[in-house]
Amino acid sequence: MGKNIKEIKFQAEGITCTACAIDMENILLDKKGVLDVSVSYMEGLINICYAPDEIDRRDIIYNLRKLGLKIKPLSG
């Protein structure tokens, strides 16, 4: 049984260091339905793969903003 997987990318302001990026990845990966997260501190980019039947795009955006980030969706 295959999952429907979607990918969403964001430009983000507020990622202040590499350790912060790693913490953000771990926090987001703890959310049900988030399958993979890549946060680039240097580029200010966040890439998230998720199962839309378990978490929706709005919940992902909410969780990113809750981390104190200003985000702009690039795709997804």
Tell me the domains of the chain and their CATH numbers: 16-69 (3.30.70.100)
1 band by pLDDT with thresholds 50, 70 and 90: very low
- Decide if 10 contacts 64 (C-beta within 8 A): yes
User: The tokens 């981390």 sit on which residue?
Assistant: 67
- Give the integer Cα–Cα distance in Å for 18 and 20: 5
pLDDT in tens, 35-68: 999 999 899 999 999 999 999 999 999 999 998 8
pTM for this entry: 0.87
- Is residue 13 predicted with pLDDT exceeding 50? yes
> Can you read off the two tokens belonging to residue 51?
């199962």
